[in-house]
Each structure stands twice: as C-alpha cells, then as structure tokens.
Structure 1
C-alpha cells in the first residue's frame, strides 16, 4: 500500500471531515510524512497497512535520542495515533498498531507572558515616524488588545470591524467565529492606520478587505509578524523569547489579574473548552506563591531577611 496515497487521504479527512485549521493540519501531515520517509528507507516493503507496533516504537525511540523536546515527542505520538485511528475506521487496517504507544509525561506548561510595562516597552520601541511603524503599532495593539492568534491577526477583515459598536468579528479555529470588544484607543489606531497608511498602498485586489497589509499591498505572512516582534523585543531590551502568541497569553493573564471572569476570557480567546483557559489560573497561582514567599510574615526571619 502506498504511503503517499494514504497520507493524502488522511489530509483530506482532517481538512474536510474534522475541519482542522491549516496550522494543525500541517503539523499532523508533517509528522506522518516523517514516519513515511523513515519507513521507505529503514522498512522497505512496509506500508501503513502492515507496519507494526514494535516498528513504530523503534522509530519513536530513534527520534527520542535526537534530543527533541518532550512536547514535540508527545505531538508525534498524537499525530501517529490519529493517522492509524483513521486507517482503522476507514477499514484499511483491522488493528491499530499505535494503540499502546505512550507519550512522555509532560509537566504543567505555563506560557511566557509579558508584564504591562514590557508590552509598553515593545510599543515604545516602534519608530512612529514611518508608515511601517504606524502599521506595526496598530498591529501590536490589536494583537495584544484583542488576544488574537497570529493567523487571526493576518486574516482580519475590515468588513468584520464594527466601528460603531467597537468590536471585532474574529474567524477562529475550526471555522468558529467570536466577537471581541475593541477599546476606544485601539479603534482610533485602526482608523488612523486605515485612513493615513493603508490608503497610500496600491492594494492587491485579492486582499482589498484584509486589514494589515505589507508594503506591496498584499496580506502579511506569519513569518513577517514573527520577525517584527523579534526585532522590537530586541530593541526594547527584553531578553525573553517572545512570539506573537506571547501577546495573546499576556492579554488573558492581565485580564485575569484585573478580576475578569474566566468564562469571559474563554469567550474572547475562542477556546472551545474552559479547561484550556484554566492554564491562566495556574499563572495567577504562581504569582500568588511569589507574593506569599516574599511578603508573608511567617516567611521572614526575626532579622527581617526572607527565608530561602
């Protein structure tokens, strides 16, 4: 049986039946393509219908010795399990060789966040004397002020902005839409960008409704947004490894710190499950722990020094 044929069928299944987002779909397909490449070299004659549990184990063991992170290893196993579950359901196989595969034990993942002061430092690092600088200021403010994923940011449409009521309609993962409020300040920045910067571009007809454009009048790529943020954080003197998603994490964390209800945060982030949003309560718990260790009188010695 041909690996390429089944991989293409799996990709179509994820896209049209499971309604996976492009990013998630690409990750799953990329993981199975790695397995295919391995099988074609190391297991000649073995197809997706005949590969065994032991052979999958050997493949994963070989990858684990290359010092990939536990999170990457867990994702590989998730992709492999999804692939062979699909083959089983499609009656390509009568058994599931991945059923007993176990991923590495993952600790609690606490995403990096920026303080409000750090967010302001990044924004102050922007040169507002240029059109690109004004665009980047607006871009960062929308990214942070609305808690968007980078894919949602670069696909944001002007027609989905309600300037009268101050909210965005965001087309999120899995074709789900949500409405996110806009602060007056952010609305003014968007209007200024549209009226004085974007209007100067010769806009590609395909992208006439896209809010954020590059200097050629086309939609921006994820890579460009990463590069912009990397350059700004370096200029601001922030040593953390920052990505567009860091601003989304910061948005949620700052809302929670200021008393917002977790359910409202869930709605604004577009999480289908409250469990995903609950990660931010752990961030708040970490902050609370630091406060207790630094300021609780039982943790301070008689001389006034803190107990380490």
Structure 2
C-alpha cells in the first residue's frame, strides 16, 4: 500500500535529516495514522497521500475534535501531518500541499509547573540515603535542577562528558547537537559521592560502562524510572503538585531568569533551537508587574 511506503520514507527522513529520537518519530507516525484511519473508514485512502484534499483534512480535524481530543493535541496532530506533506514535497512525491491552508485550533500558551527552591529542597531531602540507591537518586535530582536537563539527556549522560575541573558537562541533546552546560558544586559533590558509594560496587553491563546513572543491574536507567523516583518522593512528602523530571528543568530556567540571567544564555543552556521557546520562562507575577508600573511609570 502506498501509504505504508511513504510513511516508512517519512520515518527515515525524521531520523536521518531531522535527527529525531525514536520516541519523537513514533509520536509523529501515531498521529499520522489517525489521518490514514479516518480516510480508510470513508474509503478515501485508495489514492494515497496525493489524493488527500483540504476538505478531507478539515473533516478529519472535526472528527478528532468530536472525540474530545484537546485543542493542544489537535494542533500537534496537524503539525505532524504538515511535516509529512512537507517531506513529500521535498521528495517531489506531490506537486501541491493540501495542508498549506490548514489552520490549527487556537490554544493558549500553557505555563509549566514551577517549584520553588524550598520545594525542590524538600523533595531532595525526602530521599532515604540509607538505601543503596539513595545517593544515586540524590545525584540525579541535583543534576536535573543544576543543569536543566531533559530526562532523555540525563539518562544518556556519560562519565567521559563530565568536566568537573572546568565546572561543565557536555550534553548530547536533540538532533545529536552537543552543548556545554555549567554544573553546580552541589551537583558535583553528589555525583562524586554516588560514584564512590554506589556505582563502583555495581557489576556494570558492557553497554553501559560510560553511562553515569545506572540501575542495580548495572544498566542505563529508563525514562520511566526517573519519573517513578520523582513521583514516589512527591507522594512521600504529600506535595499537591504534578511534578515530573521536566518540572526541574522548568524550575531551573525560571529561577535563572527571575534572578536576572540573560535570556540568550538560558537558551544556550537549555539547548533550545529558538529563543521563542525560552521566552515562556519570562512569565512574571501580576502583582510584580503592577508594582513595577507604579514604581517606574511617569503617570503613576
């Protein structure tokens, strides 16, 4: 079937040319299959991607909206479909892009959950360091907050990319792009304790010899395990917030900017391709804005 072959080509394009992770590619393809299923249910799939019209796409968006899918998810699905047709244009598989005039639903900019420094300390202090993995977990959370890492970057962090004498670590981010990120003295201390107290006693799997954070079997930690560690600590202290590894990244960026850090510098540390993405962290308290206007505006 022509859809299958084009989707396979799209997957290769996302991996090789866009440098996306397997998780991101899977998300793109999953969203794209929603379009294929919609067309198949209406016997409109026989002509392949070239036969899709703007009206077909609009009807598909109405269909997913009726299923109760949120505007934010709808926008993500549309973005994936647009990327697919951009790929087909590049490959000269189609002459006209039916998604060119397809509009995404209006969505508000969702501000991420933020933790205060005190809340971060409370979570980290809840770690039971008497347990074998306690020091490892402490080093993980200090690194997340100190460096503002994505969870995927954390679990792939290599010992050979730690430059503690210089106060930096090297991160291999999205699209295999490398960046240097400063690391705090506190995080360095906790990592060194982890290396000497926990990791050195593990029987390390040959595939994970250079990976910093390991499970008890000497293998790389999974994304799910990092979420589980954090959710468990949040439950222990009874915190009424939806906290994830990304919450530490959001808090890292917000605390830097609130403290007066240059937006461009924060962009570099986070590994954002566009500074527009970083600007979400410049949200300010309404009371602070009001007081600033009263204090400095000549008409106040």
| Aligned counterparts of 2:120 and 2:80: Cα–Cα separation in 1 | 35
| Aligned counterparts of 1:152 and 1:189: Cα–Cα separation in 2 | 18
Of the three residues 283, 287, 292, the one matched with 1:290 is 287
Report how far residue 292 of structure 1 moved.
Answer: 5.8
Secondary structure, counterpart of 1:211 in structure 2: coil
Q: Structure 1, residues 120-173: CA drift from partner, whole Å, max 9, x if none? A: 111111111112111111111101111000000000000000122221001111
User: 1:165 maps to what in 2?
Assistant: 166
| Aligned counterparts of 1:72 and 1:42: Cα–Cα separation in 2 | 23
TM-score by length of 1: 0.90
- The 5 A counterparts of 1:1-308 are 1-43=1-43, 45-281=46-282, 283=283, 285=284, 287=285, 289-291=286-288
User: 1:306 maps to what in 2?
Assistant: none
Question: Where does the alignment leave 5 or more consecutive residues of structure 2 unmatched?
Answer: 296-300
| Aligned counterparts of 1:255 and 1:108: Cα–Cα separation in 2 | 21
| Aligned counterparts of 1:40 and 1:197: Cα–Cα separation in 2 | 54
| Aligned counterparts of 1:104 and 1:40: Cα–Cα separation in 2 | 24
Report how far residue 42 of structure 1 moved.
Answer: 3.1
| Aligned counterparts of 1:233 and 1:224: Cα–Cα separation in 2 | 14
Aligned residues of 2:52 and 2:98 also touching (Cα < 8 A): yes
Secondary structure, counterpart of 1:102 in structure 2: coil
Secondary structure, counterpart of 2:51 in structure 1: coil
Secondary structure, counterpart of 1:278 in structure 2: helix
Aligned residues of 1:84 and 1:96 also touching (Cα < 8 A): yes
Report how far residue 209 of structure 1 moved.
Answer: 0.4
Runs of 4+ in 1 over 3 A off after TM superposition: 291-298
| Aligned counterparts of 1:207 and 1:81: Cα–Cα separation in 2 | 38
| Aligned counterparts of 2:78 and 2:293: Cα–Cα separation in 1 | 44
RMSD between aligned residues:
2.0
| Aligned counterparts of 1:262 and 1:83: Cα–Cα separation in 2 | 32
Count of residues paired in the alignment: 294
Report how far residue 280 of structure 1 moved.
Answer: 1.1
| Aligned counterparts of 2:294 and 2:165: Cα–Cα separation in 1 | 51
| Aligned counterparts of 1:35 and 1:162: Cα–Cα separation in 2 | 47
TM-score by length of 2: 0.92
Q: Structure 1, residues 228-268: CA drift from partner, whole Å, max 9, x if none? A: 11111121221111111110000011111222221211111
Report how far residue 22 of structure 1 moved.
Answer: 3.5
Aligned residues of 1:39 and 1:46 also touching (Cα < 8 A): no
Aligned residues of 2:142 and 2:186 also touching (Cα < 8 A): no
Quickly say closer, same or farther: Cα 1:48–1:192, change in 2 above 3 A. Answer: same
| Aligned counterparts of 1:238 and 1:295: Cα–Cα separation in 2 | 32
Aligned residues of 1:7 and 1:33 also touching (Cα < 8 A): no
